[in-house]
Structure 1
């Protein structure tokens, strides 16, 4: 019996030593034990990870090009039945053309009065004339022409009834366009 009592006392003492040893290794702060991270520690870890990742990441680049097509710059293309104005676009390179994006906008209305910026293609229907028709204003970009690097943009106006011609070239209104190149 003494032996059983002695074994129990030794086991209890061993358990108490392990328990006290475990508490002595923990933080004194009861709100943040060892297995929890403080908010400051988490923020620091995230900042370090972002800093490491950003060393290898190429950030998005962009460029804005504004082009005004004046009244006399529109010309009739009888082959596709639309008015066009073609401009050189030296800002366009192969990276932008192949892996980037070019967004086009047209400004409609009077600046600082009733002007709005519309994403291209801009489609407007006119039913107050006879016959009614729909007009599309848009653009095309071209990187190479005849195998040579000749970046250009062609703005165009096309009516749904394909009506037009050289007699109206000088009477088309000027338009302000914005191209946003992202790569």
Structure 2
């Protein structure tokens, strides 16, 4: 029994000697060890460099008012349209960005709201001839042109393709160009 206790004591001492000897030969920050503060600094420097080389998303907001008298009737397409110059529209936004259109709508006795284009709304009215209620849907939309002169074309289209003289109103549109 003394022999086995002696072996255990020698093994324990040998293990303790190796452990203490190995720890005493090292320092707290060897060359292959990076502290948490060093990691944070490296990440911040990498982000700073990346942000200098990486173009951020840019945008421009353009408000355009189309007056009631600016709308023209297109007999072939059976729709009202109005054109407006949009010099802010550049190739970056047109080719790899986005153009978002909105229209401001003022409800009777209510607030003004901003609606994403195309704006679709259903109306009803009494037919003057038959007296029956007629339902129709009106769509307000836009398209964008880059070639030549940058422009935006706004449309008002009746679902029955009727030339409603009350459809052209003064509208304020908001175009958001993103690139």
TM-score under structure 1 length normalisation? 0.76
Q: Distance between the aligned counterparts of 1:93 and 1:79, measured in 2?
A: 30
Q: How many residues align?
A: 161
The aligned counterpart of 1:175 is: 171
Equivalent runs, 1:99-110 vs 2, <5 Å: 99-109=96-106
Q: Distance between the aligned counterparts of 2:12 and 2:168, measured in 1?
A: 99
**CA offset at residue 78 of structure 1?**
1.0
The aligned counterpart of 2:153 is: 154
**CA offset at residue 137 of structure 1?**
0.4
**CA offset at residue 35 of structure 1?**
6.9
The aligned counterpart of 1:66 is: 63
Deviations 1:22-56 (A, max 9, x none): 3333649xxxxx97854x44433332221122232
8 A Cα contact 2:80 2:168, kept in partner = no
Cα-Cα RMSD: 2.9
Change in 2 beyond 3 A, CA 1:12/1:132: closer
- Whether 2:139 is the aligned partner of 1:139: answer no
Aligned counterpart for 1:89 among listed residues 69, 75, 86: 86
Q: Distance between the aligned counterparts of 2:160 and 2:56, measured in 1?
A: 45
**CA offset at residue 57 of structure 1?**
1.1
Segments of 5+ residues of structure 1 without an aligned counterpart are: 29-33
8 A Cα contact 2:156 2:168, kept in partner = no
**CA offset at residue 96 of structure 1?**
1.2
The aligned counterpart of 1:31 is: none
TM-score under structure 2 length normalisation? 0.77
The aligned counterpart of 1:114 is: 111
Q: Distance between the aligned counterparts of 2:154 and 2:22, measured in 1?
A: 76
**CA offset at residue 153 of structure 1?**
0.2
The aligned counterpart of 2:52 is: 55
Q: Distance between the aligned counterparts of 2:51 and 2:92, measured in 1?
A: 21
